[in-house]
Every structure is written in C-alpha cells, then in structure tokens.
Structure 1
Amino acid sequence: MDPPASADEAIAQAIDTIDQYMLLRSEVYADPSGQHDVAALAGGAAEIRLRDEASQLAAQGIHAEGQFRFETTSGQASEAVVDGTAIPFGTVTLDGCYDSSEVELLYTDGGPVPVAEDRRVRFQPVLVYRPTTQSWIVFDTPSPTEPESC
C-alpha cells in the first residue's frame, strides 16, 4: 500500500495493523515454540518483546487459549523518518484498551497459570509505515509502570 495521504488514512491503516498484530500475538501465545512471521507485523522494541515473551512461555511450558484484543479510542499521526526518508503521517500512536480477558494461560499439563486480576488496561502502541515493504508495523508496545484500567 502507498504511504498514507492523511492523518485519518494513517490512523485507519494503523488500526487495521494493530488488529492483525493482536491475532498474531494470540497465535504466538497459543504455540510459543512455533514458527511465526513476527517481522511481518512487528519491528523494533515490539518485535523484540514478542519474541522474548514467546521464548519465556516456551521455556516454562506455558501456552494460551483465547484471543487478545485492542479497542482503539483515539489515534495521532505524525511524520516518520525511515532510513533517511521523511514520511508524512508515517507514525501513529494509538490510545485504547488492551484486553486479555478472553485469554487463558495454561501449563503443559492443562493447569491454569495465575494472571493479573485486571485484564483490561490502557495501552498506547506506536506503529510505523515501512516504505521498503509498503506496510505498517507495530514498532513499540510500551507497558506503563502503573497499569490503568479501562
């Protein structure tokens, strides 16, 4: 796809990408030892984080059942500079609610893994347009020090 021509277009494309990323995240958690094309939808800190989480889950014999979701409440687009090229509207920061309430973590023997009580927290992922592949990636998935319920 071509670079976004407006902030609204960039935000719409970023929302589509975060939805795809949540599906990928669910697949990775369901089979943390499996082969997943994480780089197709994630880069930078977000890619490192998802790969690290998969390694930790696999090492502990944990997998997940269910679907992660993200409910967007707003978005803000700004210029991105990728490989020295300025892309108007090429960075989008979304604001919304990360929802893991439908996800159950399980040990290999089927026993449940204890999880945080608050399964719906405010989340602000950063997405970047990648001109080399003409696609969006999730670039950062920062975790606040004090999660805020939503």
Structure 2
Amino acid sequence: MTSFRFALGTAVVLGIASGAALAAGDLSKQTPIEITVDLGSPGKHEFAPKQLKFETGKLYKLILRNSSSDPHYFTSHAFSQMVFTRKAQVTQQQNGKTVTLAEFKGAIREIEVYPGQSAEWWLVPIAAGRASDLRCDIKTSDGKTHAELGMTGEIVIE
C-alpha cells in the first residue's frame, strides 16, 4: 500500500509539473512586447525606426502609427512568411483611450494605415532571418512610390 501511495503521489507531482511546463510555453498567456513604427511624418516618407528586430517565439504587438497626411503601407512579403499572425486590429484614440474598431485574423501581408490612424499587428516570429523588402508602394501624384522616396526598411528576426 505504501508503494502504491508513493507511485500515486509521484504521478500527481509529475502531472502538475508537466502541466506547469506546458503553460510556460502557452503563447496566448504571454504579455506582448510592444514595438511602435511611425509610418511617415509630415513631409517625409520613411519608417521610423528603419530597422526592426524581433526574437522567435515571443509575442509582439507591432503598433503601426501614421501621423502624416498621406496613407501608408507596411508591406513585407518575406516578413509575413516568417511570422504567425495572432490578429491585426484597427484602433483609434477616443477620450484618451485606445478603442478597437475592427479585428482581422489569418495571414497578413500588407497593412494600410490612413492618415492620423493606427493599427496593431499581434504576431509571433516563427523563423529567423532577414526581410529587406519592407516598403510602402503608395504612389505620389508624380507617379513615384513612397519606397522610391525612401520609405523602405529592414526586419531582422533572431
């Protein structure tokens, strides 16, 4: 009987320990790491910062903020292949609080953010590498893209 109790006690302890180990790997329980990217500024076509760094396996909330008077794209096909998208949200400031207006799920390859607005892309990098194709392909009135005017960047996942 003593060995049965010992075996049962051991099984319970191991079961609790393995459950805790599984919970530690539960990405839905992570607090997101916030990274803000400014998409242009008045009179400038640029990403700020121009280089973004991520680490595989961590949850990020990528905040795309457009304070310029032009719409801008955040486009990187290579980056979209190296991440798992949990959701993308359209947000707006109302009475000093961020309010979610819409939410999208599934593969995201490009996000357009209108002037004075912001969006959130919740993602987990799943592959290391370098994406040097970050760009904004919106065209100006003279036919040039914002990328041709300098709105390009690089994303590094370690």
For this structure pair, what is the TM-score category when the shorter chain's length is used for normalisation?
under 0.3
TM-score, length-scaled by structure 2: 0.26
More strand by share: 2
TM-score, length-scaled by structure 1: 0.27
Structure number with bigger Rg: 2
